[in-house]
Structure formats: structure tokens, C-alpha cells
Amino acid sequence: MIHLRKKKIDLERLPRHIAIIMDGNGRWARRRGLPRSAGHAAGAENFKTIVRFCGEIGISYLTVYAFSTENWSRPIDEVDNLMRLLEEYLDKAYTELDDRVRVRIIGEREMLSEVLRTKVEKLEADTAERTGMVLNIALSYGGRQEILHAVRLLAEKVESGTVKPADITEEMLSKGLYTAGQPDPDLIIRPSGEKRLSNFLLWQAAYAEFWYSDILWPSFKTAHLVEAIAAFQKRDRRFGGV
């Protein structure tokens, strides 16, 4: 099955870094007359399938948007439910994930509960030496907040006199981002019909290709990912050139 699907894409020219905004869980549930929590549970299951598939076809970096800084404004019950799902995922991730996957959590970790933060740090440490796909989970993540964080690090260097403002480069700012050392996303995918970034990877998205779809995240299958990659492979990326 996978073999058949793979045929549609050139495995030699895969996007090195794919980023996905996992949106549409709530609408998926509502259409089925289910509570939003059922949508999040289905979305979490789908996330595992997509991670596995990306590892199998040879994607080097996968970043998923799981919870934004703005999502803290949701009703407390929903936030609790999402945090519980994340905790469950982190508990099982080490044994369930392909043993080559390295996990990184990007976002404001100081916003997470101590229990969650400990689990996050343990999973990162346990998978740090792995050499396969890097899986970035964006958790309490906001692109503006990330840039602000990087700017503060630079400001400290300026204040201490180690760097002059005129000498600040793009590379120096990139080094202060949560994704330091990683390539920028080549392809950003947003299911659910929305056509916006919602504060996702603002700096890193400068030259990313976008792919949108009306499919809601829990229904987003590997076949849709193949479709997105196939579309990506037909694009002409010019990076401002001719």
C-alpha cells in the first residue's frame, strides 16, 4: 500500500523539513456530534501515524504545531484535556516511536506544568543521541515569542559589550531560535481550510512552500501528505532569483 503511494513522489527529492499545523480537531468532532475532546484524541492518534510515515519515507525534520501560545486562552477544560493527551503521548513515546527518532519540544517550556516539563526533558534526553528524523513538537509555541526570545539573547550580548548592534546577522538571530541548527521548513502544511500561519514558525517560514487543504486534521491521511509532497515537487522555488 505504502509502496503504491510512494510511487507518486520522488524519494530522492523530498522536502528536508516538513512542518504541519494540526488543525481542525474541533470541527471534526462537531460534525460527528462528538465532544471536542474526541476530536483531539483522534488528532493525537493521527499524529502518530503521520510521524511514522514521515520517518519511513525518509523525512529528516518534521515539526508539528500541537499547542500555540494563544491556545492557552481556550476554556480551562479543553486546555486540561490537551495537556493530558500530551502527557499520555510523552509517557508512551519512547517505546512507541521508531527508535531512530529524536524528539525536540519547541516553545515556552516555562509555561508547562512541572510534571509535563519533566517528561519533555526526559524524552529529549533519552532520544538526544539518535540519528534519524528530528521531530519538533511545538508546544506553547508562538513565532513572535520565539523571535522575542532570540532578540533578548542578542540584547544581552550587546549589553555586555560582546556584540555591536551593527554586527548582528541573520545567523546570529537564528541561533537564538528554538530551531537553532536546523534547516528552515521547505513545506508547511495546513489542513482544516484555514489559510493562515497562526503564529507558526514566522522567521523560519520566509521561503517555505505552503500547502492547504479542507481536510480536518484527524482525517488527514498519509495519502494527503503524499499529495502535498507531490505538489511541492512540482513547485519552482526561486528564492528571489530568476
Q: Which residues are catalytic?
A: 23, 71
**C-alpha cell at position 151:** 532578540
Q: Which residue has the cell 512552500?
A: 209
Size of the site for ligand IPE (CB under 6 A): 17
Could you tell me where the beta strands, DSSP code E, fall in 75-234?
Answer: 102-106, 134-141, 187-190, 209-212
Q: Which is nearer to ligand IPE, 9 or 146 (CB)?
A: 146
**C-alpha cell at position 118:** 519533566
Could you tell me where the beta strands, DSSP code E, fall in 53-109?
Answer: 61-68, 102-106
* Interface residues toward Mg ion, by CB under 5 A: 23
What minimum distance in Å lies between the beta carbon of 142 and ligand IPE? 10
Quote the CA–CA distance of 167 and 91 in Å, as a whole number: 44
Stretch that binds ligand IPE, among 66-74, 123-131, 163-171, 225-233 (CB under 6 A): 66-74
Q: Which residue has the cell 476554556?
A: 75
- Among residues 50, 66, 97, 225, which is the contact residue for ligand IPE, using CB under 6 A? 66
**C-alpha cell at position 90:** 510523552
Is residue 220 involved in binding ligand IPE (CB under 6 A)? no
CB-based contacts of 34, cutoff 8 Å, min separation 6: none
- Among residues 10, 56, 121, 194, which is the contact residue for ligand IPE, using CB under 6 A? 194
Binder of residue 140, out of Mg ion, ligand IPE, none (CB less than 5 to 8 A by kind)? none
What minimum distance in Å lies between the beta carbon of 49 and ligand IPE? 16
**C-alpha cell at position 110:** 516555562
Each residue 138-177 as x (binds ligand IPE by CB under 6 A) or -, in order, gives ----------------------------------------
Quote the CA–CA distance of 221 and 210 in Å, as a whole number: 18
What minimum distance in Å lies between the beta carbon of 23 and Mg ion? 4
Binding site for ligand IPE (CB under 6 A): 21-27, 65-68, 71, 82, 192, 194, 196, 198
